Structures are given as C-alpha cells and as structure tokens.
Amino acid sequence: MDILTLELFDVTVSEALREINRALEEHPSMPLRLLLGGETMLHHNIQRFLERQGRTTQLRSEGGRWRMDVGGAAVEPAPRLMLPLVPAPLPAPLPLARKPLLLTSASLGQGGASMGRRLLLGVLRELDPAVPWVGLALEALELLEDPLALEALTTLQARGIPVRISRESQLFPTGEAAFEIMEDTQWQRLAGRGEIVIL
C-alpha cells in the first residue's frame, strides 16, 4: 500500500496543518506518514486536527525525532439493498468548508461593552480548528489593547488559526504580538462572494 510521507521539521503549527490539509485534499484515501520534530504542542494540534477529519494516528519516537502514522480515510460499507417500495435515503450532506471570520467590533451586540467583549472572547475560545483564519478590522483592533483578548488571539495562532490585521484599519504597529498584516482586498473579495463570516 502506498504511503504519502511529509517532512514537517522547523514549521509552525499553522504551516504544518496547511501542508497536511493540502495532502488530504490531493490524496483523500491515502495513509500519511508525518516526520516531525520534538515539539509536543505541534504533535497535539496535528492529532486533534486529524481526529476531526476522521483519521487515526499513531505517534512513535525515532531517535530524537517523531513519526506519526495516519490511517487512510475510512471506506463506507456498501449500502444494503432496500425493498423497491421503500424510498432510497437522501445522500448525507457534504461537510461545509469552514469560512474565515472577520471581526469589525471589539464586542458583540448592542448591550454593555464589557458583556459584549466577554461574549466575543467566548466565540474565539470555541472557534473550530478548521476555520482558516481570523481577521481584525475597524474597531476590532481595540482587542489588541486588551490583555485577555490578546491572550485569546495568541492562543488561536498557537492552535494553527492565523490572526490577520486589516492594513487600512491599522493606525499604528501592533508591537510584539506582530500578527500578519492583511490586504483588505483579500477579505473584501470573500465578502463579495458570501464566503466570509463578519461579526
């Protein structure tokens, strides 16, 4: 049986997940072998991502480096023949691709700013790992001045979800947090096609 091998040394969590996702899209049923460095956080994030894709993983140490064997996609059993009088079941819907999330405000809703901020941070903490990226524009850049919000955004990046900042909205450098600066046409194009969630 063919096995696709990926070497993921000296990469960020985000880069590793992007490479794995590309391999899964190009070879959906093929097992993978991932060769990794010794970063526990990277291993953990990759395993969680693959489990959500329905893949089994086995992690083994190999002389200071690590090997993760990833099982191929499960093959659906052949459907049983049904009696002619019973209507055929509708096909299961395909999983929806996750859309990026663009924040334009530092809190949710029209209520108090403090409660709205806590609710927005709750959304960030519960964000699905399959969300490709989170953008900040307009008033959402105020989150960079809030230690709790900054911690939530930094945690997202560590989980492999890039955080991007609107170039037009950025009035001054973001300091050590140094999130990626995004050209506004990137999210505007997605918004024009209905392919981004805007809060």
CATH number at residue 11: 3.30.1370.110
The domain of 190 spans 101-198
Q: For 88-133, how does the pLDDT look when each residue is reduced to its tens digit (9 = 90+)?
A: 566 655 455 689 999 999 888 766 678 888 888 899 989 888 999 9
Pick the residue with more confidence: 165 or 78? 165
Q: Please state the separation of Cα 145 from the chain's center in Å.
A: 24
Quote the CA–CA distance of 59 and 44 in Å, as a whole number: 10
Core vs surface per residue 107-121: b (16+ CB within 10 A) or e:
bbeeeeeeebbeebb
What is the model's pLDDT at position 40?
84
Residues 108 and 66 in one domain: no
For the chain, counts of helices (H) and of strands (E)? 5, 9
Quote the CA–CA distance of 65 and 8 in Å, as a whole number: 11
What is the model's pLDDT at position 94?
46
What is the model's pLDDT at position 89?
67
Task: Give the confidence band of 163 by pLDDT, cuts at 50, 70, 90.
Answer: very high
Alpha helices in the chain (DSSP H): 13-26, 40-52, 113-125, 147-158, 184-192
Residues 138 and 193 in one domain: yes
Judged on CB neighbours under 10 Å (0-12, 13-18, 19+), 166 is buried
Spatial contact of 44 and 71, defined as CB atoms under 8 Å apart: no
**DSSP conformation class of 111:** S
Residue 158 lies in a domain: yes
With a pLDDT cut of 90, the percent of the chain lying above it is 14
Residues 137 and 182 in one domain: yes
Task: Give the confidence band of 3 by pLDDT, cuts at 50, 70, 90.
Answer: confident
| End residue of a domain, out of 70, 90, 116 | 70
